[in-house]
Homo-oligomer: A and B are copies of this chain.
């Protein structure tokens, strides 16, 4: 495995692969890799000749009061995991490599980014889109893998790629969970043992909502209240949002008919955790 830290070198290698018609799979990450990332890398490994994993804690996607400084960094561990999964290149640029002091270009998705996490984190997706656009141009992959845990991010990246015609396929990878259903996330490292125990409420709440949906309940208000009730059973948890939205447009729905996305964000201790589930469309009677 090669470690590349220079953007110029990364793009040079990428152009060579293009010339040689190699199929390149790309997994962009912020590092602190866990089994969720591992599954993304395996998915890429299964399809690509060359697998590139990037590790870059992107400052532009953190708000001023967020956890940029505290965000876990573990390059040694990340290299071990990538090597074990037969990654070809680990791309690990510095912030200075990625953003010139006078950088002044943003990629902005302004519809899907408004609600859900975008409402609580108003500059977050602008930072995500900008860095992903730059990474796609540096790595020139045939496909890039994004996790379904970040459901809104996945849809925004797909929209950006469609609108700007990036020549890349976006592949979605299913959420990987701990034994008790907690979605894997680098931010789970922030949790104390008791917080970690209570964090299982996110998935329990989504499961409960899914159960009553499957038994016939269609009112979004009732499903959302069910979720809030389950979260309230965890005294250390505080809801940021609970939303039910149309699966592609991310517009809030009152009744769950087409495929919908149930998404939530919950603060537990220092961590802000997100999770989601997709409810299948109602089949006609």
- A134 CA / B11 CA spacing, docked (Å): 19
Complex: chain B residue closest to A109, CB-CB? B105
- A230 CA / B19 CA spacing, docked (Å): 55
Size band of the interface chain A makes with B: 35 or more
Contacts of A105 in B (CB 8 A): 107-110, 129, 159-160, 163-164
Query: Quick one: given A18-B18, A19-B21, A21-B19, are A164 and B107 in contact (CB under 8 Å)?
Result: yes
Q: Does A34 contact B (CB under 8 A)?
A: no
Contacts of A165 in B (CB 8 A): 7, 11, 134, 137-138
Contacts of A134 in B (CB 8 A): 163-165
Q: Does A102 contact B (CB under 8 A)?
A: yes
Total copies of this chain within the assembly:
2
Q: Does A236 contact B (CB under 8 A)?
A: no
Contacts of A130 in B (CB 8 A): 164
Complex: chain B residue closest to A133, CB-CB? B164
Q: Does A232 contact B (CB under 8 A)?
A: no
Q: Does A249 contact B (CB under 8 A)?
A: yes
The A62-106 residues at the B interface (CB cut-off 8 A) are 99-100, 102-106
Q: Does A258 contact B (CB under 8 A)?
A: no
